[in-house]
Amino acid sequence: MPHVCLLLSGAALLINGLAMLAHVPRRDAAVLSLVVGSIQLVLAVVYVTNDDGGAGPLPTAAGMFLFALTYVYVGLDVLLGLGSKGLGWFSGMASFVGLLLAAVWLHSNPLLAVLWVAWAALWGLMFASMALGLGRLDPIIGWGLVLASQATATIPAFLGLAGIWPGTPGPAWLAAAILAVLFAAAFILARREGRTVLLTGLVPADDAGPASTSNP
């Protein structure tokens, strides 16, 4: 069940990232978030209900609930026009809990610990944007969600579903390096997109350059 939730998160993260970059309507992404979050809540309750008292299920269930509540909150925030301030503070709390969960999994599941650090970073960026008013971070968040969606959710979900989840530190270090590159790429893409928008705004609408005089 946790891997199914992770697979659903890959879709939700991707679509929400595209929505932040204005490539998908926010209401479309909100509906998907609400659906995914609701399904994850149900799966998390079932997972906890079937808990046999082991040490692993409770942190796993906590992570499932954290993601589920985030998606539900994101969906309701957009659909009801709540203003995102509360969502921002919730994201700050989720970022802190994500770091705690990373510490919990550090020795027994290093790859999962690395993934939790990445998710905590995304929640932290959302906190800075929505709660602290740093809206200029939104393009970085958008690209971060798009790039990290597959690396932190979809691909790990398939590894878990296929029963080949790595438990040694080597793959975790590799994942950390890849994620560092992806977050750097998100920053670069956001900066480049910002410069493009700025330059486009400086060009008058009736001055499209040589291309405007060419024949079709």
Report whether pLDDT(81) > 90.
Answer: yes
Mean pLDDT, rounded, of the chain: 88
| Res. 195 pLDDT band, cuts 50 70 90 | low
**195 Cβ partners below 8 Å, 6+ apart?**
none
Report whether pLDDT(142) > 80.
Answer: yes
Q: What is the pLDDT of residue 1?
A: 83
**170 Cβ partners below 8 Å, 6+ apart?**
none
22-65: pLDDT as tens digits: 999 999 999 999 999 999 999 999 998 886 555 467 899 999 99
Three-state DSSP class for 215? Answer: coil
Of all residues in the chain, the percent with pLDDT exceeding 70 is 87
Q: The whole model's pTM is what?
A: 0.87
What are the backbone dihedrals phi and psi of residue 179, each rounded to the nearest 5 degrees, phi first? -65, -35
State whether the Cα torsion 149-151-157-162 is positive or negative: positive
Query: What mean pLDDT comes out for the span 69-75?
Result: 97
Residues 36, 128: Cα–Cα separation, whole Å = 24
Range list of H helices, 80-168: 85-105, 110-130, 138-149, 155-161
Residues 131, 97: Cα–Cα separation, whole Å = 17
The DSSP 8-state label assigned to residue 151 in this structure reads I
- Which letter, b or e, does each residue of 174-197 get, where b requires 16 or more Cβ atoms within 10 Å of its Cβ? ebbebbeebbeebeebbeeeeeee
> What's the CA angle centered on 175, arms 169 and 178, to 5 degrees?
145
Residues 75, 31: Cα–Cα separation, whole Å = 6
Write out the two tokens for 128: 């800075």
Q: What is the pLDDT of residue 208?
A: 38
